[in-house]
Copies of this chain bind each other. A is one copy, B any other.
Amino acid sequence: MGSCCQAMCNVQKNTNVRVSLPVVCFVWQIAMVILFGVFIRYDDESDAHWEEYKAENNITSDIENDFYFRYPSFQDVHVMIFVGFGFLMTFLKRYSFSGVGFNFLIAAFGLQWALLMQGWFHALDPNTGKITIGVESLINADFCCAGSLIAYGALLGKVSPVQTLVFTLFGVTLFAVEEYIILDLLHCRDAGGSMVIHAFGGYYGLAISWVLYRPKLKLSKRLNGSVYHSDLFAMIGTRLPPLETACKSRQATSDSPRFTGTLFLWMFWPSFNSAITDHGAGQHRTAINTYIALSSSVLTAVAISSLSQKRGKLDMVHIQNATLAGGVAMGTAAEFMIMPYGALIVGFLTGIISTFGYLFVTPFLEKYLKLQDTCGVHNLHAVPGMLGGFTGAIVAAAATESVYSKQGLIDTFDLEGKFENRSVGTQGGFQAAGTCVAIAFGLVGGALVGLILRIPIWGDPADDNCFDDEVYWEVPEEEESIPPVLEYNNHMINKHHELSESNFSVEQS
């Protein structure tokens, strides 16, 4: 029956990716090999010439290798990218393979392309024409993937694996450009990426989703509801909810993996924000501020969630998402002297705003703006990221020498070289401008990439085939395991039947 349904769907769309997916994977992977061969080399701290470098730079101990400053944070970031983001996308009843699996694919491809793109913009040695990489490059590559993974959150269930690779290719490219403009040209500070990662990634995904609007997404779910009735899967409670109820039903499925995602994001966010900040007090302070902001988000998300439901019950969607808003919103300001109470306030407000977003804004966007945002990235990334950018601008503009010390001010805002004379007020203005650049890149870039994704060659699913792992995965035949129930029932009924055919007597053991 499943295959019958699929045949029906295929009239509309061809989801066969047996040629396109392998071809894209191979072509891009081969391109990566060639480009890595031409461009990428180890940096001074990871090259075998390290002993010479140490001697030249009067480094007394191996422990001063950047590896030891950043590797633990890198591993935490890595866990956030693959487990955190991946498991946060496992809430749809029949889409957990794709949630985790395509997240994995996006990140594994994206990080290679990011090493190149970010390398060309930030680490190209003009003499040798080579990009040199170290642990900080790996962190930045992970960050760069995060932008595309956030965008995937808005598109979850509605795109093919080939499309994920396409929007990742463009997403990483756009990321590297906007990052160059914001961090280098505008000379903003944005260590945890409120602007460059979250605001950009969120609006990028939303813009793509808006262009890919599927008007029949809800309707088809209801019309084809029978598909699931006749599907054996439905029997063990895996019927797919229409998108409009997905928000409500998401906890129905695999909540514990999803909570794993939430918790690993929540716990490791201090590492995310501090991973590439200044050695010493910079990393230290960033981690503290993020830790504090996140704890505050939890309480206000709980409060608003409880307020919004009858009998004060909590909604798992809020708890699994809005509690993270404080981390997003501290991406820029966490390395500044925002003070512990400042961090608490940021977490306090964004926890509220994000929960309201899940309650009111996502339904509004879908209904009136035709914007289908599967994971609610608008509330978790786009808006908190934008707020984080402006928070950074305000905190930067309010910086004083008495709080930071003269050297501290220079270090924190990197006011050296040609930016030596920039005032903190000006810096604040540039921070705000940077936020706008990130949003603009996300919206315009996303709209263009959305148009590319509409070309009907990528094997995307039909409207009535979305949110279904079976389209792109060899899902095991559950008939093997289900039939006993049916068999038993059928058996009983048949038996009943046979026996009663003559005189209606049934016996069962």
Contact = CB atoms under 8 A, between A and B. Distances in A.
Interface stretch (A184-192, A390-398, A440-448, A497-505): A497-505
A18 B484 contact: no
A291 B408 CA distance: 35
A111 B228 CA distance: 46
Given A42-B285, A303-B25, A405-B49, A493 B496 contact: yes
A36 B474 contact: no
Given A134-B284, A341-B36, A344-B33, A311 B15 contact: yes
* Interface size band for A: 35 or more
A467 interface: no
A72 B72 contact: yes
Contact of A256 (B16, B100, B292): B100
Interface string A46-83: 11111110100000111111111101110110110011
B492 A237 contact: no
A104 B236 CA distance: 30
A257 interface: yes
Tallying the copies of this chain within the complex gives 3
A374 to B, nearest CB: 16
Contacts of A21: 302-303, 306, 312
A472 B313 contact: yes
A322 B65 CA distance: 33
Given A298-B109, A507-B507, A485 B485 contact: yes
B252 A476 contact: yes
Contacts of A48: 281, 285, 337, 403-405, 408-409, 411-412
Contacts of A54: 280
A303 B26 contact: yes
A81 to B, nearest CB: 8
Contact of A493 (B409, B411, B493): B493
Contact of A303 (B22, B404, B485, B499): B22
A263 B340 contact: no
Contacts of A78: 267
A475 interface: yes
B134 A288 contact: yes
Interface in A211-249: 228-229, 234-239, 241, 245, 248-249
A12 interface: no
A69 B64 contact: no
Interface stretch (A89-97, A196-204, A381-389, A423-431): A89-97
A487 B40 contact: no
B252 A65 contact: no
A105 interface: yes
A503 B502 CA distance: 10
A262 to B, nearest CB: 8
Contacts of A255: 96-97
Nearest first, the 8 A-B pairs at minimum CB distance are A504-B504, A18-B312, A48-B408, A50-B281, A62-B280, A237-B481, A108-B298, A25-B303
